[in-house]
Structures are given as C-alpha cells and as structure tokens.
Structure 1
Amino acid sequence: MRVVLNVIWLIFGGLWLAIGYFLAALVCFVLIITIPFGFASLRIASYALWPFGRTIVAKPGDRPGALIGNIIWVVLFGWWLALGHLVSAAAMAITIIGIPLALADLKMIPVSLVPLGKEIVPVDGKPVEYARS
C-alpha cells in the first residue's frame, strides 16, 4: 500500500515539491555560507519524493549550531514552507483519495519548519543508507 500511495503522491505534487527543495538546495550551496541549509533542503527533497513509510526523528545529542540555524531558518524560510504545506494539505483533503496525501503533507511541516538536527528514517526500522545524513 505504501508503494501505491508514494506513486500517487509523486504524480500529484511530490515530484514538483522535491524539485523545488532541490533547487533551493542548489542556491544554498552556491551562497556557501548557507551550505547547512542546502543539506537540510536535500533531506527534505528526498522525503518529499517518497514520504510514506518514513518518519522524522531528532538526531541524538546537543546541537547548539542546529538551534541557531533553525531559528534563522524559521524566520527566513520555515514559516513560509509550513504555511505552504498547510494550504496544500487543505487542498488535497477535499477528496477522499487526497486525504492520505494531505496527511503526508502535514507530516512534512515539522521538518520544513525546523530541519536542522532532524533525520529521516524508515518507519519499519530497516536501515536505509540514503535516509541518514
């Protein structure tokens, strides 16, 4: 069922969402000082491509740099992204088929709001190399 939901998600918005996050990552890499934001954007892009069957967890340990970076991220980008995901989820929830997609969109709000210090992992506990960064 996850594969079917992921394919539907990919067709109805996941691909464009991932492309947007990927382009944002490229801009962050070009600006050099925002490279940590670029890596965070790439993590979100991979999550946007295939969200069903994966979840977001906090990385262990104290991360003062992540805290400062997340504050900057929320002020500049995070609240816009969270608002966009919220509006998109409301639009997807109009149809019965779109309800699981809307829930996946809502699941992306925490990582789009504060992405630094987060990790995207599989739900079933199987290790996936590309999910760790």
Structure 2
Amino acid sequence: MNFIGNIIWLIFGGIAIFIEYLVSGFVMCCTIIGIPWGLQCFKLAFLALLPFGKQINVTAGNPGCLSTLMNIIWFFIGGIWIALTHLLFGILLAITIIGLPFAKQHFKLMSLALTPFGREVV
C-alpha cells in the first residue's frame, strides 16, 4: 500500500512540493546564515517526495536550547505559512474518502513544518 500511495502522491502534487522545498533549501544554503534552515528544507523535501511509510520522531535525548531557538525563528519566518498550506490541502483532501490517506500525509508534513529542528524522519 505504501508503494501505491507514494506513486499516486507523486502524480498528484508530490513532485511539485518536492521541487518547492528543494529550491527553497538551495536558496537558503546560498547564505551562510541560512544553511541550518536550508538543511531542514531538504529534510522536508525528501519526506514530501515519498511520505507513505515514513514516521517523524522526536530526537532521542534533550534537543537543547539552540534547537528551540531555531524552531522559534523558523516558525515566524516561514514555518507557519508552510504549515497553513499543508493544513489547507489536508482539509480539502479530507472531504473525500479517497483523499483521507493523502490528508493524513499533509498533516504529518504540517507537524514537521512547524518545528523541524529536533526531529528525525524514520
């Protein structure tokens, strides 16, 4: 089921989301200050490419105050807008029964888009 879900995801917008995250990650990595956020965009990009069968876990141990500070900056700079986009698509897809698995993936991406630092994709 994960394979079929990923194929359908790619056809109906997964590649567009992947390219969007990839381009923004490259743009952020062009500056030295933006490298940490660019790396998080790459994490989001590869999760957005094939989201079925992957889980998001909080990093073992204490993520630290730097991770919290980076999440706060991320939240106000772009995380809230990315999360709202995933929320909108998730709600639209949840209206139909066929779209429920895809809505679930958008909600998973939304949680990572809010606070990407201190989390890992398994």
Q: CA deviation at 1:34?
A: 1.0
Q: Which amino acid aligns with 2:117?
A: L
Instruction: Provide the C-alpha distance between the structure 2 equivalents of 1:27 and 1:95, rounded to a whole number of angstroms.
Output: 36
- Normalising by structure 1, what TM-score? 0.87
3-state SS, counterpart of residue 54 of structure 1:
coil
Aligned to 2:21: 21
Deviates more, 1:38-47 or 1:93-102: 93-102
Q: CA RMSD in A?
A: 1.0
Q: CA deviation at 1:92?
A: 1.8
Aligned to 2:50: 50
Instruction: Provide the C-alpha distance between the structure 2 equivalents of 1:119 and 1:65, rounded to a whole number of angstroms.
Output: 16
Give the number of equivalent residue pairs.
121
Q: CA deviation at 1:106?
A: 0.7
Instruction: Provide the C-alpha distance between the structure 2 equivalents of 1:30 and 1:100, rounded to a whole number of angstroms.
Output: 36
Matched, 1:112 2:113: yes
Aligned to 1:34: 34
Aligned to 2:73: 72
- Normalising by structure 2, what TM-score? 0.94
Q: Which runs of 5+ in 2 are unaligned?
A: none
* Divergent runs of 4+, >6 A: none
Q: CA deviation at 1:96?
A: 2.3
Aligned to 1:99: 100
Q: Deviations over 1:25-69 (max 9, x none)?
A: 011101220101011110010000111110101112332211110
3-state SS, counterpart of residue 97 of structure 2:
coil
Q: Which amino acid aligns with 2:102?
A: L
Q: Deviations over 1:62-114 (max 9, x none)?
A: 32211110000001111111100000112222332211101110111111011
Matched, 1:82 2:83: yes
